Amino acid sequence: MINVTELRPGNYFTEAGEIYNVLDILLNKTAMRKMIAKLKVKNVRTGAITEQTYNSGYQIDRISISKHKMTYLYDSGDFLVFMNTETFEQVELSKESLTWELNFIVPNSEVEMAGYEGEIFGITLAPKVALKITECAPGVKGNTVQNATKDAIVETGLRVSVPLFIEEGEVIMVKTTDGSYDGRA
């Protein structure tokens, strides 16, 4: 148990059976009152971001989240199978919980999996991933307006807007935050 004013962004804590990640903290002290801590937190199970206010002196349970390097192995229908690179333990996660991440995961991809007491919250991708283009229209000669782009489909099925000089079969870097083109691999 720690005082709520000792929390910092990136810390995790539990309250009322829920697990929260601290995104931001604002400490406010006036002459007539105790210090107030306003926390901007994210519920790791639901993804909901809320603001919570506590008085100074309120005790909170800070927890440590375990993070492991995992390798994506294969798709088993409704689940994706990952393997811990140290213990070789295999873990299945439902596709429903990884809708955005599916756009960037190919077999043998390295990800970081976070969890607490055996419960897995999800995975964290690298900021950029290398994906091969499977479908791409050829660039049209003369269509050289400044920053001209065309659509390409990568091996995961994600549609990416790429420059005209990119060809089918090339490997490109894609940002995992917004799915945009970042350069050749």
**Cα-based distances in Å from 133 to 65, 138, 155, 181:** 36, 12, 6, 11
What was the pLDDT predicted at 160? 93
Q: Where in the chain is the domain with CATH 2.30.30.30?
A: 2-63
pLDDT digits (tens, 9 = 90+) for 49-82: 999 999 988 999 999 888 889 999 998 888 999 9
Provide the pLDDT confidence category of residue 47 given band limits of 50, 70 and 90.
Answer: confident
Chosen CATH of 66-124 out of 3.30.420.40, 2.40.50.140, 1.10.357.10, 3.40.50.80: 2.40.50.140
> In the chain, where do the E strands start and end?
2-3, 12-15, 18-28, 36-43, 49-55, 59-63, 66-75, 79-84, 90-94, 110-116, 119-124, 128-136, 149-154, 159-163, 171-175, 181-184
Q: Give CA–CA dist 41/17, Å, rounded.
A: 15
Q: How far apart are CA 117 and CA 106, in angstroms?
A: 28
Measured CA to CA, the distance from residue 134 to residue 75 in angstroms comes to: 19
pLDDT in tens, 88-130: 999 998 888 888 889 999 999 899 998 888 888 888 888 999 9
Quick one: average pLDDT of 43-49? 86
Residue 152 reports pLDDT greater than 90: yes
pLDDT at 144: 62
What's the DSSP call for residue 104?
A: T
Tens of pLDDT, residues 32-41: 888 899 999 9
Looking at the domain 2-63, which fold is it? SH3 type barrels. (2.30.30)
| Rounded-to-integer distance, Cα 62 and Cα 66, Å | 13
Can you tell me whether residue 40 is helix, strand or coil? strand
Q: Which of 117, 132, 129, 116 is nearest to 169 (CA)?
A: 132
What was the pLDDT predicted at 51? 95
**Which structure tokens are listed for 15?**
């309250």
pLDDT in tens, 158-180: 999 998 888 899 999 999 989 99
The CA distances from residue 9 to 21, 22, 62, 99, in Å, are 8, 5, 12, 26
On whether the 128-184 domain is CATH 2.40.50.140, my answer is: yes
Question: What is the rounded distance in angstroms from the CA atom of residue 172 to the CA atom of residue 170?
Answer: 6
Q: CATH 2.40.50.140 occupies which residues in the chain? A: 66-124, 128-184
